[in-house]
Amino acid sequence: MSNSSSITQFLLLPFADTRQLQLLHFWLFLGIYLAAFLGNGLVITTIACDQHLHTPMYFFLFNLSLLDLGSISTILLKAIANSLWDIRAISSSGCAIQVFFFFFCATAEYSLLTIMSYDRYIAICKPLHYGTLLDSRACVHMAAAA
């Protein structure tokens, strides 16, 4: 007789045991999420609507805002739902998916920040070659690689 068991869900520790503090955490997390959503949404809308901002630096900033929305939505929306509905468990597959998407977005953000620093290096140190080194095709390839 073999001893086999499988984990189907993880138990989460609540921020507080009282319902009032859980609702306080809900409103706090909701405020943080809405502030991040509004800030990144304004950046995305401004860059998309203004033709003067269609340069490599703003193209990368646009993509960085999208990745930031993805990474904050991965973790914070689940925390908001758990605080509101007093849920203290997450399935193991749900946890794995959440961790995968968070690390995917975080890794892509760090890669894009590295590419943005290269963009600023070219703009400062080699301004005459900037247009040839970072044309729109190169920017799309670097953003896709991130």
Residue 2 is predicted with a pLDDT of 66
User: Is residue 3 domain-resident?
Assistant: no
CATH code (residue 138): 1.20.1070.10
Distance, in Å, from the CA atom of 46 to the CA atom of 43, rounded to the nearest integer, reads 5
Question: What Cα–Cα distance (Å) separates residue 111 from each residue in 43, 63, 72, 82, 102?
Answer: 20, 11, 17, 31, 14
User: Is residue 123 domain-resident?
Assistant: yes
- State the total domains in the chain: 1
Domain that holds residue 95: 18-145
Work out the pLDDT band at 109, boundaries 50, 70, 90: very high
* Residue spans of beta strands (DSSP E) within 13-136: 89-91
Tell me the per-residue pLDDT of 120-137, one tens digit each, with 9 for 90 and over.
999 899 888 888 888 888
User: Is residue 68 domain-resident?
Assistant: yes
User: Is residue 13 domain-resident?
Assistant: no
Tell me the per-residue pLDDT of 35-88, one tens digit each, with 9 for 90 and over.
999 999 999 999 999 988 888 889 999 999 999 999 999 988 888 888 788 777
pTM over 0.85: no
Per-residue pLDDT for 13 more than 70? no
User: Is residue 117 domain-resident?
Assistant: yes
Which residues pair with residue 10 across a beta bridge? 90
Q: What DSSP string describes 35-51?
A: HHHHHHHHHHHHHHH-G
Residue 14 is predicted with a pLDDT of 65
